[in-house]
Amino acid sequence: MQLIALTGGIAAGKSTVGRRLAELGAFRIDADQLARDVVEPGTPGLRAIRDRFGAEVIRADGALDRAALGARVFGDAEALADLNAIVHPAVRELAERRIGEAAALDPDAIVVYEIPLLVETGGRAASSVPWGLVLVADAPAELRADRLVALRGMERAEAERRIGSQASDADRRAIADVLIDTSGTEQETLDQVDALWTRLTARETTG
């Protein structure tokens, strides 16, 4: 089994890369989706959030009120640390379970785990997963801000603030084994992913 960490800044094209790898046959795990899964109604994660932040962060239907929770932790480092202490271990446990499921289904599986904040959470050294490859979707910050404005309707200042709150492009490049340049057309990005897949599957074939 090959374990690949896929990361990149906001609007860098991680999802495009991840989707293509899944289309080609990879087992895809999305950290953002796992973070939603571990706070679904009835989960220990949601109960822990309710215990820490109160019933006001729970909607009438029992689901997490993300806006209310966001307002509680915004600008409060201690509250944010408490939230991360609830969510991050649960996500890590679920990710390890999903990786185990992939290995059970196919010992030769290529598993791609999309982790937007890989650098911010300590990188490869801090991870409990033995990544065989760190893949970075890479595009200049200015272009990513353009995408946030055009595709997500953000104000330019908010787009730049979001980008500035994350790790720098240089920090992400420093941990990359492979860079996918996503600054061109979508097809140019897909061509790079296809070429990477050819190398990965050749590695599986040769052992």
The domain limits of the chain are: 1-26+109-207, 34-96
Give the Cα separation of 24 and 194 in Å (integer): 8
Q: Which residues of 162-195 are buried (b: 16+ CB within 10 A; e: fewer)?
A: bbeebbebeebeebbeeebebeeeeeebbebbee
Q: CB neighbours of 31 closer than 8 A, spacing ≥ 6?
A: 91, 95, 113, 114, 115, 116, 117
Give the Cα separation of 67 and 120 in Å (integer): 23
Task: Note the pLDDT of residue 206.
Answer: 57
CA distances from 62 to 32, 42, 44, 142 (A): 20, 9, 13, 40
CB 154 within 8 A of CB 25: no
Task: Note the pLDDT of residue 183.
Answer: 97
Collapsed DSSP state (helix, strand, coil) of residue 137: strand
CATH of domain 1-26+109-207: 3.40.50.300
Strand boundaries in 23-85, DSSP class E: 27-30
Task: Note the pLDDT of residue 121.
Answer: 82
| Per-residue pLDDT reduced to its tens digit, 90-128 | 998 999 999 999 999 999 999 999 998 899 888 887 777
Give the Cα separation of 152 and 52 in Å (integer): 32
- Within the chain, which residues score under 70 in pLDDT? 204-207
Give the Cα separation of 35 and 16 in Å (integer): 20
Beta pairing partners, 170: none
pTM: 0.86
CB 129 within 8 A of CB 102: no
